[in-house]
Amino acid sequence: MGPFAGGRLPAAHPLIDGRTAGSPLVLAARRQPVPHTPVWFMRQAGRSLPEYRALRAGTAMLESCFTTDLVVEITLQPVRRYGVDAAIFFSDIVVPLKAIGVDLDIVQGVGPVVKEPFRSPADLGRLRDLTSDDVLPVLAAVTELTKELGGTPLIGFAGAPFTLASYLVEGGPSRDHAHTKALMYGAPDVWHALLEKLAGIAGEFLRQQVLAGASAVQLFDSWVGALPARDYREYVQPHSAKVLAAVADLDVPRIHFGVGTGELLVDMRDAGADVVGVDFRVPLGEAARRVGNEVALQGNLDPAALFAGPEAVEARVREVLSDAEDLSGHIFNLGHGVLPSTDPDVLHRVVDLVHEITLR
C-alpha cells in the first residue's frame, strides 16, 4: 500500500478527515512507526462482558445484530472498559446471509443453524446478491459508531466464503466439515459457483461497511485451517481474493485470519491481506519468516492462557511482544476469539500491559 489514495472514500470518512489515519492500528497495519503497539481482541464485543449480558437479556442474537442501537452500544462497551485501540462492530458472520433471506438462526450454545442445508446445484438459487438496502440497520450502526469513536478506528468484518459455505452446507457448526468437503472434492463446479456467490456477498458487505465509515476490515475464515494448502489454493483462495479485492480501491487495511492456519499463512497473504492474523499455534517470529516483511501480523496470545493467573498472563504477553520485536508491523490480539468465561479484568490488564511495555 502506498499513501492513502482514498479517492473513492467520502471526504468525511475518518481515514480521510484525519481522525484515524494516524491511529496506532492503522499505522501498524501500514507498517509505519507507532507510539505503542495497538491491541484489540477478536470477539471483544459481547460474550464475556457483564454489561453486554445485561443489555442483551431477552433479545435473540440475530435480532440484536439488526438493531442499530444495540450494535452501537455493545460495540462501544469494550472500547470504554478496556481502552483497546480498535472497535469491531458487534455482529456475526452469518448476518449477511440472513440479510438476503437465508433461513437460519443462531442457537444459544450451538451457533448458526441453517434450516435447509445447501447441498445441490438447485440450492444456489437460494442466494442472491447483497445490496446496502439489505443491511441498513448494520450500516446505520457503522455510521453512528464512526461518530462516537472519534480517533479509534472501527474494524468492519465479514466471514470468508469457505467458512460461510461450511455453515450453509453442514447446516451448522461442524468438527469435520464432511458435507462441505464432499461437495468441494466431489462436485467442484457446484462448489466454485457457491463460493463465487458468497464472495460477491461478503465483498459487497465489506465495501458498504468501509463506505459507511470503517477504517479497516477483517475477513474471518474461521474454519479454513481444515484444509491443506494445495486445496486452499485450488478451492478457496480465488474466492477469498475476490472478497478482499472488493475493497482494494478504497485503500483500507485488510486483515485476514483463520484458526489453525499455520500451513496457509503465505497463501492467505497472497489472497490480498495487508495484515495476516496468526493463531496461537505459530509464534509471530516464525510466522514472519513464512510470510515475509511485506505484510503486518496480528496476534497471538492464546485465549486459554488468560485463565492461568496474573504472573503467567504477563509472562505470555511479554513472550508475544518479544516474538513480534522484529516485525515490520504488529497488531496485538488473541490467537482466537475471547472465551465466554474470560474475566474482563484480565483483558483490561493485558491492554495496559501491551501499552506500557511497548510505549516508545
Enzyme catalytic residues: 43, 47, 56, 92, 167
CA dihedral 325, 316, 279, 43 (to 10 degrees): -110
Residues 221-250 that bind a copy of itself (CB under 8 A): 225-228, 230
Please list, residue by residue across 110-149, b when 16 or more beta carbons sit within 10 angstroms of its beta carbon and e when fewer do: eebbbeebbbeeebeeebeebeeebbebbbebbbbbbeeb
Q: How far is the CB of 259 from a copy of itself (least distance, A)?
A: 10
| # residues contacting a copy of itself (CB under 8 A) | 36
> According to CB under 8 A, which one of 22, 35, 262, 292 is a site residue for a copy of itself?
262
The residue from 123, 148, 263, 352 that contacts a copy of itself (CB under 8 A) is: 263
Question: Whats the size of the chain, residue-wise?
Answer: 360
Report in angstroms the alpha-carbon separations of 246 from 19, 91, 240, 269. Answer: 24, 20, 10, 16
Query: What is the x/- site pattern for a copy of itself, positions 331-350, by CB under 8 A?
Result: -----x--x-x---------
Q: Give residues 84-103 in contact with a copy of itself (rule: CB under 8 A).
A: none
Of 309, 322, 326, 343, the residue at the interface with a copy of itself (CB under 8 A) is 309
Q: Residues of 21-39 as b/e, b for ≥16 C-beta within 10 angstroms?
A: bebbbbbbbbbeebebbbb
Interface residue with a copy of itself, options 182, 234, 249, 293 (CB under 8 A):
182
Note whether 77 and 150 are within 8 A (CB).
Answer: no
Q: Please report how the helices 68-82 and 136-149 are oriented relative to each other, as an axis angle in degrees rounded to 10.
A: 30
Least Å from the CB of residue 169 to a copy of itself:
11
Rounded Cα distance between 188 and 191, Å, is 5
Using CB under 8 A as the binding rule, whether residue 308 contacts a copy of itself is answered as: yes
Q: Which three cell numbers mark 105?
A: 438462526
Nearest to 344 by CA among 37, 47, 39: 47
Residue found by looking up cell 489514495 in the block: 5
Contact by Cβ (8 Å): 275, 297:
yes
Smallest gap from Cβ 136 to a copy of itself, in A, equals 35
Measured from the CB atom, the residue of 202 and 320 that comes closer to a copy of itself is 320
Quote the least distance from Cβ 182 to a copy of itself, whole Å.
4
If one asks whether residue 201 binds a copy of itself (CB under 8 A), the answer comes out as no
Q: 204 or 279: whose CB is closer to a copy of itself?
A: 279
C-alpha cell at 35: 507510539
Q: Which three cell numbers stand for residue 317?
A: 504477553
Q: Is 289 in the site for a copy of itself (CB under 8 A)?
A: no
Contact indicator for 144, 68 with CB cutoff of 8 Å: yes
Q: How far is the CB of 150 from a copy of itself (least distance, A)?
A: 34
Which of 104, 127, 169, 282 binds a copy of itself (CB under 8 A)? It is: 282
Measured from the CB atom, the residue of 34 and 42 that comes closer to a copy of itself is: 42
Binding stretches for a copy of itself (CB under 8 A): 176-186, 225-228, 230, 260, 262-263, 280-283, 302-305, 307-309, 311-312, 316, 336, 339, 341
